Amino acid sequence: MREAPLKYLFWSLSFMLLAFLVFTSGNAGITCDEVLHYNQSQDVYSFFSTGGEDRDALHNPVWHLMYYGQSFDNIVTILINWLDIDNVYGFRHIMSSIAGWMTIMVTALFAIWISGYRTAILVILLFSITPSFIGHSYNNLKDIPFALGYISATFLFLKFLKSGKRIPYYIVILLTLSVAFTISIRAAGAVLILYMFFFMLVLIVMKNYKEVTFGRKEIIYKFLLLTCISFAAYFLSILLWPYALQDPIRNVTEAYRVMAHFPDTFRQIFEGRVEWSDFMPWYYLPKSMLITIPVIVLAGIFLFVIVSKKIFSKDKALTFYLLIFTILFPVFFAIIQKSNLYSSWRQFLFIYPALVLLAASGYSVLYGLIPPKYPKWILSIVFVLLAFHPVRYMINNPRYFYLYYNQIVGGLKGAYGNYETDYYYVSQTEASEWLIDYLEKKKITGRVKVNATYSVSWQFRNHPDIETSYFRYEESSQTDWDYAIVTNRYISPFKLRNGSWPPANAIKVIYADKVPICAVLERKSKDDYYGFISLSEGRYAESVKFYEKALISDGSDEMIFYNFAAALYNIGEKQKADSILKVSPEGKS
């Protein structure tokens, strides 16, 4: 097909994808990270609006948020305040989806620069049927913008290298802004500065190897220009980062050190076992990618390797070598450093655009290699067949794209109980909407206490009679609540696989691909809570009576058995306490 029709098709698909992302972002749930980073961005806004008097943005010892530049969050919050936007998270999701679309577009423009519109169209199609990336594009204002900056800087620097002795001003300006943007989100983005000087040295060595030497003036000119770009990008990157502004060198270095070895650890399900995030096997990252990236993209990467001799022509070899380096270096670095990794591979979404570009190049070259005597539509049929699994998932689970698992582990059903699913607590939004509707239909009035495994205060903001609180599900019997919203995060894989979760008191279960990811619970009795209060206050005989009644309505909560045994022990009934522990769910298992 000629370039003109392909160009028309490319731009049509591009704007259709933009409309799709913006329109469907309204269905996106609120993630746990969003709550934290939005609150931090408000503190950042307050820091600047008060001339630095409000210093809350500089102190966040629990979540370490001062170490994040999070410039995209901060920019969005500035707009929210200036424009007086009421639907905060709705606006955030629109802006995030635009950042996702821009990431796709930069990758597609990269593809046009390398090999033309056919490859760019394939880039758009492969992105569009990658549920995990599209899912994160709705509500991840940290990892998606970082991916945008990373692929933009890579693309622009390669254009910088190819520009010869005269480098257009627009490339210099855009490269500076791209590097600055990436660093301003995470300090690790500063690796792009190292990339630029390293790539420049590689080019000089390769030129000399081929006996095509740079002139001394050109070398000095480009290195001076890179130095200016680096300093300017670094300066621009800290303008919206209060912590970095306090000490631009030491604090940014400290931020990188903390983020490279994140101090908090998290329990995760991996390969059917519960592991701590800082003790994951070395292959946690590559395997997480292998089982969640659509097979159609993996097949494209495999094709790229197979036809690489055709792709690595004299004028494109350096481009692809450097592109592959930007993929492999961060992965190997994280493995060698034994980085604290969690939440699948979302922190490494920034390497996915380059992977898609390689996959699209593989398909494009293979298409061109098919002899004229064979019908080329056969490859299109194979492409459609490989796309069926992720497309079917996206149609059936429009709110939960990011939970996607491919056929290697049997889809989401096969991954359930063996790998993390709703680690971002996205399903709490749908559960909250359902509970609000349920309470209104039941005409339940008065004070209602709703606990959740992560904050749902925003979802219930227009319902002042509903009091929301955070709780740990395993300690649910020790807190006061009427209804609870519980995701399957931190539920043991044993409970997930044997069907003992969701519990019997679930009045609503949220499903993705027919597996339960969230439940709304209704408390039938508060005897377990009263028993805990009595136990805490030393009224052991009274506590025993409450727990005896509590076990009638709930025989699945280990903490009820444990606290009941403690109360019995304190009134001298040690033998009965032991027998209670033996018949508890944990004792039976």
- pLDDT band for position 204 (50/70/90)? confident
- pLDDT band for position 261 (50/70/90)? confident
- pLDDT band for position 243 (50/70/90)? very high
Please choose, from the candidates 38, 453, 65, the residue with its C-alpha nearest in 3D space to the C-alpha of residue 263. Answer: 65
Give the least confident one: 80-89, 169-178, 549-558, 560-569: 549-558
Give yes or no for a contact between 207 and 215, defined as CB atoms under 8 angstroms apart.
no
Residue 453's pLDDT is what? 95
- pLDDT band for position 163 (50/70/90)? confident
Position with higher pLDDT, 41 vs 207: 41
Please choose, from the candidates 278, 240, 281, the residue with its C-alpha nearest in 3D space to the C-alpha of residue 71. Answer: 240
Query: Mean pLDDT across the stretch 554-576?
Result: 88
- pLDDT band for position 263 (50/70/90)? confident
Counts for the chain of helices (H) and strands (E), in that order: 26, 7
3-state secondary structure 493-507: HHHHHHCCCCCCCEE
| Apex 548 CA angle, 542 and 554, nearest 5 | 130
Give yes or no for a contact between 108 and 120, defined as CB atoms under 8 angstroms apart.
yes
Q: What is the dihedral of CA 529, 530, 533, 538, to 10 degrees?
A: -140
CA distances to 136, 504, 519, 542 from 531, in Å:
43, 21, 25, 7
What's the number of CA atoms in the CB half-sphere (13 Å) around residue 310? 16
Residue 17's pLDDT is what? 98
Say how many C-beta atoms besides its own lie within 10 A of residue 282's C-beta. 11
Say how many C-beta atoms besides its own lie within 10 A of residue 16's C-beta. 12
Give yes or no for a contact between 506 and 521, defined as CB atoms under 8 angstroms apart.
yes
Give yes or no for a contact between 122 and 363, defined as CB atoms under 8 angstroms apart.
yes
Query: Mean pLDDT across the stretch 269-297?
Result: 95
DSSP assigned state of 87: -
Could you tell me what percent of the chain has a pLDDT over 90? 77
DSSP assigned state of 419: B
DSSP string, 255-292: HHHHHHT-S---EEEETTEEEEGGG--TTHHHHHHHHH
DSSP assigned state of 409: G
Which residues, other chains included, contact 495 with Cβ-Cβ below 8 Å and sequence gap of 6+? Answer: 501
3-state secondary structure 320-370: HHHHHHHHHHHHHHHHHHCCCCCCCCHHHHHHHHHHHHHHHHHHHHHHHHC
Position with higher pLDDT, 562 vs 369: 562
The single-letter code of the amino acid at 493 is P
- pLDDT band for position 314 (50/70/90)? low
Which residues, other chains included, contact 78 with Cβ-Cβ below 8 Å and sequence gap of 6+? Answer: 45
- pLDDT band for position 77 (50/70/90)? very high
Give yes or no for a contact between 544 and 555, defined as CB atoms under 8 angstroms apart.
no
Residue 38 above 60 pLDDT?
yes
CA distances to 452, 529, 552, 564 from 524, in Å:
17, 12, 11, 19
- pLDDT band for position 93 (50/70/90)? very high
Alpha helices in 470-573 (DSSP H): 493-498, 527-536, 540-553, 558-570
Q: Cis before residue 330, ω within 30 degrees of 0?
A: no
Kindly give the pairing relationship between strand 448-452 and strand 466-470: parallel
Residue 370's pLDDT is what? 80
Whole-number Å distance between alpha carbons of 68 and 55? 15
Burial of residue 573 (number of CB atoms within 10 Å: 0-12, 13-18, 19+):
middle
Structure token pair of residue 47: 């820091």
Calculate the CA 417 to chain-centre distance. Answer: 20
Residue 386's pLDDT is what? 96
Question: What does residue 466 show for φ and ψ, rounded to 5 degrees?
Answer: -100, 120
Residue 136's pLDDT is what? 97
- Beta bridge pairs of residue 276: 267
- Full set of structural domains in the chain with CATH: 3-396 (no CATH), 427-522 (no CATH), 527-588 (1.25.40.10)
Residue 580's pLDDT is what? 86
- Percent helix, strand and coil across the chain, each to the nearest 5: 65, 5, 25
pLDDT in tens, 473-513: 999 999 999 999 999 999 999 889 988 899 989 999 999 99
pLDDT in tens, 348-367: 999 999 999 999 999 999 88
Say how many C-beta atoms besides its own lie within 10 A of residue 373's C-beta. 5
